[in-house]
């Protein structure tokens, strides 16, 4: 099979499992999980970054090969998301930014319109922008048209581990949009990630399911394997499904009919 690499903003991404850094029991466990997953892209909330801190800094635990994507967790509108992105860049965290604009405190569902405003502004400033959004084809097109590096629809609400509850909507987006689709939020099992990749997603983003598992390091490895398997199956092409049984072996030709 030919080399299969996801390229975004000039960066070659071999591992299509994007990993989060929150909720781990320690930074050491987080680092071990990222290494086990062989993650190339990791997200970090700006409030957890302090390059001037005398105590341990989370960035010191991010493996060297990883591209850091700051997320705007905590932003309630476009203005706050833009401010966080600018602060992150000024702090030396790079220009990859995942836009999270959440005004709903109960279900933590993204505000698509405010996210679009932030995306439009930050793309113009040269940021590599990944908008986190509720699945909607027309909004996804607007994100793509304004220059988003990828579109990140939720699978289910953040941290719920409920899996891919938005499957049909995500499938439509994959078919209709050329910009990479990366399912983010709610994936709870490696099989959820595999399903996304079989559908044709460019990558998946996972945090909670790995971080709160009984063995984050091994669960990260399991997710990475599932993502790889799902991607390989997509590239090969899934076998057709049928409503009636189809014998896997011939039912005739082995026994001679008696006279």
Q: Which of 23, 89, 98, 124 is catalytic?
A: 98
Is the dihedral angle over the CA atoms 182, 184, 187, 190 positive or is it negative?
positive
Contacts of 28 (CB under 8 A, 6+ apart): 61
> What are the φ/ψ torsions at residue 115 (nearest 5 degrees)?
-65, -40
Reported in sequence order, the residue ranges of the chain that DSSP labels E, i.e. its strands, are: 6-8, 11-13, 17-20, 41-45, 67-71, 96-99, 128-133, 152-153, 182-184, 203-206
Concatenated DSSP letters of 170-209:
HHHHHHH--S-BEEES---SHHHHHHHHHHT-SEEEE-HH
Is residue 195 annotated as a catalytic residue, yes or no? no
Active site residues: 98
């Amino acid at each position: 099979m030919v080399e299969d690499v996801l390229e975004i903003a000039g960066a070659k991404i071999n591992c299509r499992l994007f990993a989060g850094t929150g909720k781990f029991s320690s930074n050491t466990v987080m680092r071990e999980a990222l290494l086990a997953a062989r993650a190339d892209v990791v997200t970090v909330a700006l409030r957890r970054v302090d390059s001037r801190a005398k105590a341990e800094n989370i960035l010191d635990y991010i493996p060297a090969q990883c591209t850091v994507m700051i997320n705007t967790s905590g932003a309630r509108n476009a203005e706050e998301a833009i401010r966080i992105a600018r602060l992150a860049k000024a702090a030396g965290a790079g220009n990859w930014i995942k836009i999270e604009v959440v005004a709903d405190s109960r279900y933590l569902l993204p505000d698509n319109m405010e996210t679009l405003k932030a995306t439009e502004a930050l793309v113009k400033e040269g940021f590599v922008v990944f908008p986190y959004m509720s699945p909607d084809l027309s909004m996804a097109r607007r994100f793509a048209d304004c220059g988003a590096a990828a579109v990140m629809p939720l699978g289910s609400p953040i941290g719920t581990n409920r899996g891919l509850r938005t499957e049909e909507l995500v499938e439509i987006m994959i078919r209709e949009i050329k910009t990479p689709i990366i399912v983010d939020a709610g994936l709870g099992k490696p099989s959820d990630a595999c399903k996304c990749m079989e559908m044709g997603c460019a990558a998946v983003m996972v945090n909670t399911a790995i971080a709160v598992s009984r063995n984050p390091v091994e669960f990260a490895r399991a997710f990475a394997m599932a993502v790889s398997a799902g991607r390989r199956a997509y590239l090969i092409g899934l076998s057709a499904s049928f409503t009636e049984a189809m014998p896997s072996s011939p039912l005739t030709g082995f026994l001679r009919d008696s006279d």
